Amino acid sequence: MKVQFLDLGKQPIANRFITDSEKDSEFFYNLTVGFDNSSKLITHMDYVDPPMMFNESYTYRGSMSNTMVQHFKQFSENFKKSYNPKSVLEIGSNDGVFLKNWDVDTTYAVEPCGNFAKETNELGYVTYHDFWTRTLSEFIKNEHGSMDLIFAANCICHIPDLDNTFQAVEGLLSRNGMFVFEDPSLAQMINTNSYDQIYDEHPHIFSVIALQNILSRNGLTIVKVDNTPVHGGSNRIYVQRTSDVVSIDASVRSNIEFEHMLGLDNIETFIAFAKKVEQSKKDLITLLTRCKQLGKKIISYGATSKSTTVFNYCGIDSSLIDYVIDTTPEKQGKYTPGSHIPIINTNKINSDVDMAYLGAWNFASEIMTKESEYVNRGGKFITHVPLVKFI
Protein backbone atom coordinates (compact mmCIF):
# COMPACT_ATOMS: atom_id res chain seq x y z
CA MET A 1 0.00 0.00 0.00
CA LYS A 2 1.23 3.51 -0.88
CA VAL A 3 1.23 6.19 1.81
CA GLN A 4 1.47 9.82 0.63
CA PHE A 5 4.13 12.00 2.29
CA LEU A 6 4.72 14.89 -0.14
CA ASP A 7 2.55 17.20 -2.25
CA LEU A 8 4.42 19.27 -4.86
CA GLY A 9 1.23 20.85 -6.15
CA LYS A 10 -0.01 21.36 -9.69
CA GLN A 11 2.73 20.59 -12.19
CA PRO A 12 2.96 20.66 -16.00
CA ILE A 13 4.86 18.18 -18.22
CA ALA A 14 8.42 18.93 -17.06
CA ASN A 15 10.23 18.67 -20.39
CA ARG A 16 7.47 20.17 -22.54
CA PHE A 17 8.86 23.60 -23.29
CA ILE A 18 6.03 25.54 -24.84
CA THR A 19 5.40 28.13 -27.52
CA ASP A 20 3.46 31.37 -27.06
CA SER A 21 0.28 29.86 -28.45
CA GLU A 22 0.41 26.86 -26.09
CA LYS A 23 0.46 28.96 -22.92
CA ASP A 24 -3.31 28.74 -22.34
CA SER A 25 -3.75 25.05 -23.04
CA GLU A 26 -1.08 23.42 -20.90
CA PHE A 27 -1.78 20.12 -19.16
CA PHE A 28 -1.35 20.11 -15.37
CA TYR A 29 -1.55 17.25 -12.89
CA ASN A 30 -1.19 16.94 -9.12
CA LEU A 31 2.32 15.79 -8.16
CA THR A 32 2.02 13.76 -4.96
CA VAL A 33 4.56 11.24 -3.77
CA GLY A 34 4.19 8.17 -1.59
CA PHE A 35 6.04 5.35 0.14
CA ASP A 36 5.12 1.79 -0.78
CA ASN A 37 5.03 -0.17 2.46
CA SER A 38 5.78 -3.57 0.98
CA SER A 39 8.58 -2.84 -1.55
CA LYS A 40 9.83 0.39 0.19
CA LEU A 41 9.65 2.13 -3.20
CA ILE A 42 9.29 5.92 -3.36
CA THR A 43 6.75 6.45 -6.09
CA HIS A 44 4.13 8.91 -7.33
CA MET A 45 0.61 8.42 -6.02
CA ASP A 46 -0.65 8.72 -9.63
CA TYR A 47 1.35 8.31 -12.80
CA VAL A 48 1.25 10.59 -15.83
CA ASP A 49 0.54 8.51 -18.95
CA PRO A 50 3.99 7.95 -20.60
CA PRO A 51 2.95 9.05 -24.16
CA MET A 52 2.09 12.46 -22.66
CA MET A 53 5.81 12.90 -21.93
CA PHE A 54 7.72 10.71 -24.37
CA ASN A 55 6.73 11.63 -27.90
CA GLU A 56 7.96 13.52 -30.99
CA SER A 57 8.27 16.75 -29.02
CA TYR A 58 10.70 15.44 -26.41
CA THR A 59 13.53 17.94 -25.98
CA TYR A 60 16.06 16.50 -23.54
CA ARG A 61 19.37 15.64 -25.23
CA GLY A 62 21.92 13.72 -23.17
CA SER A 63 24.75 14.86 -25.40
CA MET A 64 24.23 18.55 -24.53
CA SER A 65 26.42 18.07 -21.47
CA ASN A 66 30.04 17.11 -21.94
CA THR A 67 29.95 15.50 -18.49
CA MET A 68 27.39 12.96 -19.76
CA VAL A 69 29.26 12.29 -23.02
CA GLN A 70 32.41 11.47 -21.02
CA HIS A 71 30.44 9.48 -18.44
CA PHE A 72 29.04 7.05 -21.06
CA LYS A 73 32.33 6.84 -22.93
CA GLN A 74 34.14 5.84 -19.74
CA PHE A 75 31.55 3.25 -18.75
CA SER A 76 31.54 1.72 -22.25
CA GLU A 77 35.35 1.41 -22.35
CA ASN A 78 35.47 -0.20 -18.92
CA PHE A 79 32.59 -2.57 -19.60
CA LYS A 80 34.10 -3.73 -22.90
CA LYS A 81 37.39 -4.50 -21.12
CA SER A 82 35.70 -6.46 -18.30
CA TYR A 83 32.89 -8.29 -20.11
CA ASN A 84 33.37 -7.90 -23.89
CA PRO A 85 29.64 -8.18 -24.73
CA LYS A 86 28.83 -9.43 -28.25
CA SER A 87 25.31 -7.98 -28.35
CA VAL A 88 24.02 -4.81 -26.71
CA LEU A 89 20.59 -3.28 -26.30
CA GLU A 90 19.89 0.15 -24.89
CA ILE A 91 16.46 0.94 -23.46
CA GLY A 92 15.73 4.67 -23.85
CA SER A 93 18.55 5.62 -26.21
CA ASN A 94 17.67 9.33 -26.50
CA ASP A 95 20.03 11.06 -28.98
CA GLY A 96 22.52 8.18 -29.02
CA VAL A 97 24.90 9.58 -26.42
CA PHE A 98 25.56 6.03 -25.11
CA LEU A 99 25.06 4.14 -28.40
CA LYS A 100 27.82 6.04 -30.16
CA ASN A 101 30.37 4.14 -28.07
CA TRP A 102 29.23 0.79 -29.50
CA ASP A 103 29.35 -1.10 -32.80
CA VAL A 104 26.34 -0.34 -35.08
CA ASP A 105 26.12 -3.94 -36.26
CA THR A 106 25.59 -5.52 -32.83
CA THR A 107 23.91 -2.74 -30.88
CA TYR A 108 20.16 -2.19 -30.81
CA ALA A 109 18.01 0.44 -29.21
CA VAL A 110 14.50 1.16 -27.96
CA GLU A 111 13.26 4.74 -27.86
CA PRO A 112 9.64 5.92 -27.55
CA CYS A 113 10.39 9.49 -28.70
CA GLY A 114 10.01 9.46 -32.50
CA ASN A 115 12.39 12.35 -33.13
CA PHE A 116 15.25 10.54 -31.38
CA ALA A 117 14.41 7.06 -32.71
CA LYS A 118 14.68 8.53 -36.22
CA GLU A 119 18.00 10.18 -35.38
CA THR A 120 19.67 7.00 -34.07
CA ASN A 121 18.20 4.87 -36.88
CA GLU A 122 19.86 7.32 -39.27
CA LEU A 123 23.13 6.81 -37.40
CA GLY A 124 22.80 3.10 -38.30
CA TYR A 125 21.63 1.68 -34.96
CA VAL A 126 18.45 -0.40 -35.36
CA THR A 127 16.13 1.55 -33.05
CA TYR A 128 12.63 0.38 -32.15
CA HIS A 129 10.32 3.36 -31.84
CA ASP A 130 8.31 1.98 -28.94
CA PHE A 131 7.97 1.68 -25.18
CA TRP A 132 9.88 -1.08 -23.40
CA THR A 133 7.52 -3.99 -22.65
CA ARG A 134 7.58 -7.78 -22.51
CA THR A 135 5.94 -7.89 -25.92
CA LEU A 136 8.68 -5.77 -27.49
CA SER A 137 11.39 -7.74 -25.68
CA GLU A 138 10.04 -11.01 -27.14
CA PHE A 139 9.92 -9.45 -30.61
CA ILE A 140 13.56 -8.29 -30.35
CA LYS A 141 14.65 -11.73 -29.13
CA ASN A 142 13.05 -13.33 -32.21
CA GLU A 143 14.76 -10.82 -34.50
CA HIS A 144 18.25 -10.60 -32.98
CA GLY A 145 18.59 -13.25 -30.28
CA SER A 146 19.35 -12.62 -26.61
CA MET A 147 21.58 -9.77 -25.39
CA ASP A 148 24.86 -9.88 -23.47
CA LEU A 149 24.36 -6.33 -22.19
CA ILE A 150 21.07 -4.54 -21.65
CA PHE A 151 21.73 -0.96 -20.65
CA ALA A 152 19.45 1.89 -19.56
CA ALA A 153 20.41 5.31 -18.24
CA ASN A 154 17.85 7.59 -16.64
CA CYS A 155 15.10 5.49 -18.11
CA ILE A 156 14.00 2.67 -15.80
CA CYS A 157 12.85 5.18 -13.17
CA HIS A 158 10.63 6.63 -15.95
CA ILE A 159 8.53 3.48 -16.30
CA PRO A 160 5.44 3.04 -14.11
CA ASP A 161 5.21 -0.79 -14.37
CA LEU A 162 8.51 -2.09 -12.99
CA ASP A 163 7.47 -5.75 -12.85
CA ASN A 164 6.73 -5.86 -16.59
CA THR A 165 9.95 -3.92 -17.25
CA PHE A 166 12.14 -6.35 -15.31
CA GLN A 167 10.39 -9.43 -16.70
CA ALA A 168 11.07 -8.05 -20.20
CA VAL A 169 14.77 -7.75 -19.30
CA GLU A 170 14.91 -11.20 -17.70
CA GLY A 171 13.53 -12.75 -20.88
CA LEU A 172 16.07 -11.10 -23.20
CA LEU A 173 19.33 -11.47 -21.26
CA SER A 174 21.70 -14.08 -22.61
CA ARG A 175 23.22 -16.67 -20.25
CA ASN A 176 25.57 -14.72 -17.93
CA GLY A 177 24.36 -11.50 -19.57
CA MET A 178 24.32 -8.30 -17.57
CA PHE A 179 21.60 -5.71 -17.16
CA VAL A 180 23.07 -2.35 -16.13
CA PHE A 181 20.92 0.64 -15.35
CA GLU A 182 21.50 3.96 -13.68
CA ASP A 183 19.11 6.46 -12.19
CA PRO A 184 19.22 9.21 -9.55
CA SER A 185 19.88 7.85 -6.08
CA LEU A 186 17.25 8.22 -3.37
CA ALA A 187 20.00 8.37 -0.72
CA GLN A 188 21.53 11.38 -2.50
CA MET A 189 18.16 13.05 -2.95
CA ILE A 190 17.41 12.74 0.76
CA ASN A 191 20.92 13.82 1.78
CA THR A 192 20.94 16.89 -0.46
CA ASN A 193 17.25 17.80 -0.21
CA SER A 194 17.10 17.78 -4.01
CA TYR A 195 13.34 17.34 -4.21
CA ASP A 196 13.49 18.58 -7.81
CA GLN A 197 14.56 15.06 -8.82
CA ILE A 198 10.82 14.43 -8.53
CA TYR A 199 8.80 15.27 -11.66
CA ASP A 200 6.45 13.53 -14.07
CA GLU A 201 9.23 11.58 -15.80
CA HIS A 202 10.57 10.25 -12.52
CA PRO A 203 7.60 8.34 -11.10
CA HIS A 204 10.07 6.45 -8.89
CA ILE A 205 13.24 7.51 -7.11
CA PHE A 206 15.16 4.33 -6.41
CA SER A 207 16.84 3.06 -3.28
CA VAL A 208 18.90 -0.10 -3.65
CA ILE A 209 16.65 -1.60 -0.97
CA ALA A 210 13.49 -1.13 -3.05
CA LEU A 211 15.18 -2.26 -6.25
CA GLN A 212 16.38 -5.44 -4.61
CA ASN A 213 12.82 -6.18 -3.47
CA ILE A 214 11.31 -5.62 -6.92
CA LEU A 215 14.08 -7.24 -8.99
CA SER A 216 14.16 -10.37 -6.83
CA ARG A 217 10.46 -11.05 -7.33
CA ASN A 218 11.18 -11.02 -11.09
CA GLY A 219 14.05 -13.54 -11.09
CA LEU A 220 16.85 -10.96 -11.04
CA THR A 221 19.61 -10.19 -8.53
CA ILE A 222 21.77 -7.10 -7.99
CA VAL A 223 25.44 -8.10 -8.22
CA LYS A 224 27.14 -4.70 -7.98
CA VAL A 225 26.36 -1.03 -7.33
CA ASP A 226 28.47 1.92 -8.48
CA ASN A 227 27.79 5.31 -6.95
CA THR A 228 28.34 7.92 -9.66
CA PRO A 229 28.26 11.71 -9.33
CA VAL A 230 26.09 12.41 -12.42
CA HIS A 231 22.61 13.90 -12.13
CA GLY A 232 23.29 14.96 -8.58
CA GLY A 233 24.32 11.47 -7.48
CA SER A 234 23.17 8.31 -9.23
CA ASN A 235 23.43 4.59 -8.66
CA ARG A 236 24.53 2.29 -11.45
CA ILE A 237 23.00 -1.09 -10.74
CA TYR A 238 24.46 -4.31 -12.23
CA VAL A 239 21.96 -7.13 -12.41
CA GLN A 240 22.03 -10.77 -13.49
CA ARG A 241 19.47 -13.50 -13.71
CA THR A 242 19.33 -15.02 -10.24
CA SER A 243 20.19 -18.44 -11.69
CA ASP A 244 23.39 -17.01 -13.31
CA VAL A 245 24.79 -15.31 -10.21
CA VAL A 246 28.24 -16.53 -9.18
CA SER A 247 29.29 -13.78 -6.78
CA ILE A 248 27.91 -10.55 -5.36
CA ASP A 249 30.17 -7.55 -4.97
CA ALA A 250 30.56 -6.03 -1.48
CA SER A 251 29.13 -2.72 -2.86
CA VAL A 252 25.61 -4.21 -2.76
CA ARG A 253 25.74 -4.85 0.96
CA SER A 254 27.47 -1.57 1.80
CA ASN A 255 24.87 0.47 -0.14
CA ILE A 256 22.01 -1.35 1.54
CA GLU A 257 23.56 -0.85 4.98
CA PHE A 258 24.06 2.86 4.24
CA GLU A 259 20.42 3.16 3.14
CA HIS A 260 19.20 1.43 6.31
CA MET A 261 21.28 3.90 8.30
CA LEU A 262 19.54 6.78 6.46
CA GLY A 263 16.16 5.18 7.20
CA LEU A 264 15.18 4.73 3.55
CA ASP A 265 12.98 1.80 4.55
CA ASN A 266 10.96 3.94 6.97
CA ILE A 267 8.13 6.39 6.15
CA GLU A 268 9.23 8.68 9.01
CA THR A 269 12.37 9.61 7.03
CA PHE A 270 10.19 10.86 4.19
CA ILE A 271 7.83 12.77 6.44
CA ALA A 272 10.91 14.62 7.80
CA PHE A 273 12.13 15.17 4.21
CA ALA A 274 8.78 16.75 3.24
CA LYS A 275 9.21 19.33 6.02
CA LYS A 276 12.66 20.23 4.72
CA VAL A 277 11.22 20.63 1.21
CA GLU A 278 8.68 23.16 2.50
CA GLN A 279 11.47 25.09 4.21
CA SER A 280 13.56 25.08 1.03
CA LYS A 281 10.63 26.64 -0.86
CA LYS A 282 10.29 29.43 1.71
CA ASP A 283 14.03 30.11 1.69
CA LEU A 284 14.31 30.23 -2.09
CA ILE A 285 11.37 32.61 -2.52
CA THR A 286 12.74 34.85 0.24
CA LEU A 287 16.21 35.02 -1.31
CA LEU A 288 14.99 35.69 -4.86
CA THR A 289 12.45 38.27 -3.71
CA ARG A 290 15.05 40.16 -1.64
CA CYS A 291 17.55 40.20 -4.50
CA LYS A 292 14.86 41.41 -6.89
CA GLN A 293 13.89 44.19 -4.45
CA LEU A 294 17.55 45.25 -4.47
CA GLY A 295 17.25 45.66 -8.26
CA LYS A 296 19.33 42.62 -9.21
CA LYS A 297 18.91 40.99 -12.59
CA ILE A 298 18.39 37.27 -12.03
CA ILE A 299 18.37 34.58 -14.69
CA SER A 300 18.28 30.79 -14.54
CA TYR A 301 21.00 28.53 -15.97
CA GLY A 302 19.75 25.33 -17.66
CA ALA A 303 16.11 24.78 -18.67
CA THR A 304 15.89 21.54 -16.73
CA SER A 305 13.00 19.30 -15.78
CA LYS A 306 14.22 19.75 -12.22
CA SER A 307 13.59 23.48 -12.41
CA THR A 308 10.06 22.81 -13.70
CA THR A 309 9.36 21.22 -10.30
CA VAL A 310 11.04 24.05 -8.40
CA PHE A 311 9.42 26.92 -10.34
CA ASN A 312 5.91 25.46 -10.19
CA TYR A 313 6.12 24.29 -6.57
CA CYS A 314 7.60 27.60 -5.38
CA GLY A 315 5.51 29.83 -7.68
CA ILE A 316 8.56 31.35 -9.39
CA ASP A 317 7.88 33.09 -12.71
CA SER A 318 9.26 35.90 -14.87
CA SER A 319 8.57 38.47 -12.14
CA LEU A 320 11.59 36.97 -10.32
CA ILE A 321 13.62 35.36 -13.11
CA ASP A 322 14.06 37.37 -16.33
CA TYR A 323 14.91 34.45 -18.58
CA VAL A 324 16.53 31.03 -18.77
CA ILE A 325 19.59 30.14 -20.83
CA ASP A 326 20.11 26.68 -22.28
CA THR A 327 22.27 25.25 -25.06
CA THR A 328 19.57 22.86 -26.37
CA PRO A 329 18.25 24.17 -29.73
CA GLU A 330 14.83 22.53 -29.16
CA LYS A 331 14.32 24.52 -25.93
CA GLN A 332 15.48 27.91 -27.18
CA GLY A 333 12.82 30.46 -28.15
CA LYS A 334 10.24 28.61 -26.03
CA TYR A 335 8.91 29.10 -22.49
CA THR A 336 9.42 27.07 -19.33
CA PRO A 337 6.51 24.71 -18.54
CA GLY A 338 3.91 26.22 -16.23
CA SER A 339 6.03 29.20 -15.15
CA HIS A 340 6.33 30.61 -18.72
CA ILE A 341 9.78 32.14 -18.37
CA PRO A 342 11.39 32.74 -21.80
CA ILE A 343 14.35 30.54 -22.78
CA ILE A 344 16.89 32.41 -24.80
CA ASN A 345 19.72 31.45 -27.09
CA THR A 346 23.06 32.62 -25.75
CA ASN A 347 26.39 30.91 -25.28
CA LYS A 348 27.37 32.83 -22.19
CA ILE A 349 25.78 34.79 -19.37
CA ASN A 350 25.19 38.38 -20.57
CA SER A 351 27.18 41.19 -18.97
CA ASP A 352 24.12 42.82 -17.32
CA VAL A 353 23.25 39.72 -15.24
CA ASP A 354 23.92 39.82 -11.48
CA MET A 355 22.72 36.39 -10.41
CA ALA A 356 22.04 33.03 -12.01
CA TYR A 357 19.88 30.38 -10.36
CA LEU A 358 21.39 27.00 -11.20
CA GLY A 359 18.53 25.01 -12.73
CA ALA A 360 21.25 22.55 -13.77
CA TRP A 361 22.96 22.46 -10.32
CA ASN A 362 24.10 18.93 -11.15
CA PHE A 363 26.47 20.42 -13.76
CA ALA A 364 27.69 23.21 -11.44
CA SER A 365 31.40 22.60 -12.00
CA GLU A 366 31.09 22.32 -15.81
CA ILE A 367 29.01 25.52 -15.88
CA MET A 368 31.24 27.48 -13.50
CA THR A 369 34.33 26.59 -15.51
CA LYS A 370 32.60 27.73 -18.70
CA GLU A 371 31.39 30.94 -17.02
CA SER A 372 34.69 31.93 -15.39
CA GLU A 373 34.39 35.45 -16.88
CA TYR A 374 31.03 35.93 -15.12
CA VAL A 375 32.42 34.52 -11.86
CA ASN A 376 35.52 36.77 -12.10
CA ARG A 377 33.41 39.90 -12.51
CA GLY A 378 31.52 39.03 -9.30
CA GLY A 379 28.48 37.30 -10.84
CA LYS A 380 26.76 35.01 -8.35
CA PHE A 381 25.19 31.57 -8.70
CA ILE A 382 22.21 30.60 -6.56
CA THR A 383 21.28 27.04 -5.68
CA HIS A 384 18.79 25.32 -3.39
CA VAL A 385 20.90 22.13 -3.11
CA PRO A 386 21.53 21.13 -0.37
CA LEU A 387 20.42 24.47 1.13
CA VAL A 388 19.31 27.71 -0.48
CA LYS A 389 22.51 29.77 -0.85
CA PHE A 390 24.91 31.62 -3.12
CA ILE A 391 27.78 29.60 -4.53
Q: Which residues bind ligand TYD (CB under 6 A)?
A: 60, 64-65, 302-306, 326-328, 360, 362-363, 366-367, 370
- The smaller minimum CB distance to ligand TYD, of residues 71 and 281, is found at 71
- Dist. CA 191–CA 269, nearest whole Å: 11
Which of 348, 354, 359 shows the shortest CA–CA distance to 383?
A: 359
Minimum distance from residue 201 beta carbon to ligand TYD (Å): 8
CB 35 within 8 A of CB 51: no
Listed in sequence order, the DSSP H helices in the chain are 50-53, 66-83, 114-122, 134-144, 162-172, 186-192, 208-216, 250-262, 267-293, 305-314, 364-370, 372-376
- The smaller minimum CB distance to ligand TYD, of residues 215 and 303, is found at 303
- The smaller minimum CB distance to ligand TYD, of residues 36 and 366, is found at 366
Cis amide bond preceding 386, omega within 30: yes
- The smaller minimum CB distance to ligand TYD, of residues 154 and 165, is found at 154
Q: How far is CA 209 from CA 35, 40, 169, 228, in A?
A: 13, 7, 19, 17
| Number of Cβ atoms within 10 Å of the Cβ of 286 | 11
CB 97 within 8 A of CB 161: no
Q: What is the β-pairing status of strands 204-205 and 147-153?
A: unpaired
Minimum distance from residue 33 beta carbon to ligand TYD (Å): 17
Minimum distance from residue 306 beta carbon to ligand TYD (Å): 4
- The smaller minimum CB distance to ligand TYD, of residues 88 and 360, is found at 360
**Count of all residues that appear for the chain in the document:** 391
- The smaller minimum CB distance to ligand TYD, of residues 174 and 308, is found at 308
Minimum distance from residue 202 beta carbon to ligand TYD (Å): 9
CB 300 within 8 A of CB 293: no
- The smaller minimum CB distance to ligand TYD, of residues 73 and 370, is found at 370
Minimum distance from residue 303 beta carbon to ligand TYD (Å): 5
Q: Is 66 exposed, middle or buried (0-12, 13-18, 19+ CB in 10 A)?
A: exposed
Minimum distance from residue 384 beta carbon to ligand TYD (Å): 13
Minimum distance from residue 25 beta carbon to ligand TYD (Å): 22
Q: Which helix (H) or strand (E) holds 236?
A: strand 234-241
Minimum distance from residue 62 beta carbon to ligand TYD (Å): 8
- The smaller minimum CB distance to ligand TYD, of residues 2 and 306, is found at 306
Half-sphere exposure of 346 (CA within 13 A, CB side): 15
